[in-house]
Each structure stands twice: as structure tokens, then as C-alpha cells.
Copies of this chain bind each other. A is one copy, B any other.
């Protein structure tokens, strides 16, 4: 018999770093959050996941498979299975409505995925990963669903992944329905609305997480006496202020809310019992350095934020790169990897004194210079060949 056709689709998907944090689930099975959140999608030129989804009746393995950064990845988890199930059922509906369509929903999926950044570095790789997986299979299945509709599926894989279905400035509306059908991503503003947004990521040397986000946030929900205040009063206020700041391109306000919300999030972690500490002395030195930069500039030109790890993400505007990047370059020096050419060129008279400088120098292993970017992009770069083999690199 003739070799059965291999169907393929590839996409890239971005990382997003929240400026109003997601922390806490009201439904762990459906990944429904206790509060809305808002993030900036980062440029895929610097941080992206490339995923090829393929299927074929010729695939010997009868099960779906996922290869992540060269090694087989477990997909039996409820989260991943929920995504596959939702995508297949949508494809089946199309096939039922149009008999001429190939029965892709019945074929095993072979998915191959690659990050262009170290997965371990604690850079929200799961968000990009699940967004890419869902987007790639949706492309393969030629689903008509909008990014918002697909975000409902990605959310079940990894909560923050739903925000990576869009570029620019993205809100995840918590919704209030029990089935989660209204807990989805919502575009606040395109990247082109405020393209000057930049991010300098300081990757901390020992960026291994102590506590996984999933278990950590549930411990916080269960034990923090301060958490209720965060989700009922602090975050709703921050969401409102942040959306206004993005619409108005008001960086000072964007920055203050970003820093306050990061502080509030880590405060509820510290208030968890037993306490969860994601920030370390290096993280705190980065906070002080950002405060120093803003103080020296006489205005707020930089904002720190920390996810569930010690890495510091510093948001700033392109026009202030000399002051912000220049200051960190002066402290960390060229021996730290990741600088773009422009970094060395900057001259700034802002300086960070000891012992802060030493703590940063010894604690930051590399930097990533990036900025706001677009959402998932279809691509002709495939990680599975036309005949179905996994591309080896």
C-alpha cells in the first residue's frame, strides 16, 4: 500500500511575564484562577518555543507522543490530556460536518517542541510550551477557533499559557462560571500600541525553584491569612490601574503597579505556612538597583518584577535603555553573557554601590535583553519531516 500521508503544522509561541500576577487556583482541575492577571508578551526573537504537530495513520506508535528539547516528555498528565481531548473533539466536529475532511482526529499525534532558551532557567517555559502545543495542533486540525477560544484550552495545560496566545499586553480574565468557559485571555493592547516596552532579564545563578508554582499557590490559598485581601482588593485595583496605564502608555504608573503587584505576590508567598521564598539576596539587590536607577533618573524609568523564582525582570522604555541597561552593564560587566551590542555602548553616570554591586555580580549568571512582541506565528520550519521522522539537531 502507498505510504500514508503525514500531516504537519508548525508554530512558534512566546513567553509572557506578568505585571499583575496569577497566584492561586479556585479550581485546580480546570486551572481556574482566584484572580485575573495581566502580562506582557515578550519577543520571540529572544525567547520562543517552536512546535511542530503532526499526525499520520502510518505512525506505528498508536499513542500520542511529545518530544521536548530532544527527549520524550510525559503526556499522560491530566493537564496535557485535557488539551489533546479538547482539540480532538473540535476536529471531530469539523470532520462530522464535512465528510471530505481527512480523519485527523483518529490519528496519533507526534509533537516535537524546542525552546530557544534554557528550560530550567525559570523563564515561564510552560506558558510558551502549552501555547505552542495548542496553537500547533489547532493549525494541524485547521480549527476555526479564535486565539481567545484556544486560550481556554491552553489554560487547562498551564494557566499562564493562555496569555501566550496573544502578543502585546494581555489580560487573563478570571471569569466566574464553574465550567471555566469565561476564564480566558483577552487582548488589552497590541504590541504595536506600545512597542517601546523593553525587558532586561537578570537570570540568577541558582535559578532552581524550591517549590513548584502549582503546589506553592495552593499552599498560599490554604494557609495565608493575607491572601484574601490580595485577591479581593489588591489585584482588582491593580488590574484597573494597569489597563489604564497600558492604554495611556503611562510608564510611571505601569511601573509602580508592576512593582507593587510583584511585592504583594511575594508577600503572600512569605505569608504561606510554611513560608515560600522565591526571592533571594540577589533578587533583593536587583530591587535596590532599580530603586537607585529611578532615584538617580528623578523619575520612574525602570520596574522590577519576579515570578516564582529569583530571576529579576526589569521593564523599561527603549528611550531609557542607556540609563537602565547601561547601569546593569556597568555592574555586571561584559563577562556576563547575553548582552546585545548596544549595551556596551551606553554611558551612564548612575552607579550601584557596594555591597549591592558585588551581590549582583556574583549572583547573576546571564542576562536576556528583549522587549514586547507578537503572539504565536505560523512557520515553515518543521521539527518533523514530511515522512514523519523527528528532525535531529
Contacts and interface: CB of A to CB of B under 8 A. Distances in A.
A264 interface: yes
Q: Identify which of A233, A270, A284 gathers the most chain B CB atoms within 10 Å of its CB.
A: A270
Given A226-B229, A229-B225, A233-B225, A260 B273 contact: yes
A253 to B, nearest CB: 13
A362 interface: no
A224 B271 CA distance: 14
Interface residues of A, number: 29
The A interface, classified by DSSP as helix, strand, loop or mixed, is helix
A271 B275 contact: no
A287 interface: yes
A102 interface: no
A264 B225 contact: yes
A226 B227 CA distance: 8
Contact of A234 (B225, B277, B280, B291): B225
Contacts of A273: 256, 259-260, 263
Given A228-B229, A234-B225, A266 B259 contact: no
A260 B220 CA distance: 12
Nearest to A223: B260
A281 interface: yes
B266 A270 contact: yes
Contact of A226 (B226, B259, B281): B226
A72 interface: no
A256 B228 CA distance: 20
A390 interface: no
A279 to B, nearest CB: 8
Interface in A243-300: 256, 259-260, 263-264, 266-268, 270-275, 277, 280-281, 284, 287, 291
A88 interface: no
Nearest to A235: B225
Contacts of A264: 225-226, 271
Contacts of A270: 263, 266-267, 270
Q: Identify which of A237, A266, A284 gathers the most chain B CB atoms within 10 Å of its CB.
A: A284
A256 B271 CA distance: 13
A230 interface: yes
A228 B272 CA distance: 17
A65 B361 CA distance: 48
A343 to B, nearest CB: 26
B275 A263 contact: yes
In the A-B complex, list the 4 residue pairs whose CB atoms are closest, starting with the nearest.
A267-B271, A229-B229, A225-B234, A267-B267
Interface of A: 224-226, 228-230, 233-234, 237, 256, 259-260, 263-264, 266-268, 270-275, 277, 280-281, 284, 287, 291
20 contacts: A225-B230, A225-B237, A225-B264, A226-B226, A226-B268, A228-B229, A256-B273, A259-B273, A260-B273, A263-B270, A263-B272, A264-B271, A267-B271, A270-B270, A274-B287, A274-B291, A275-B287, A277-B284, A277-B287, A281-B281
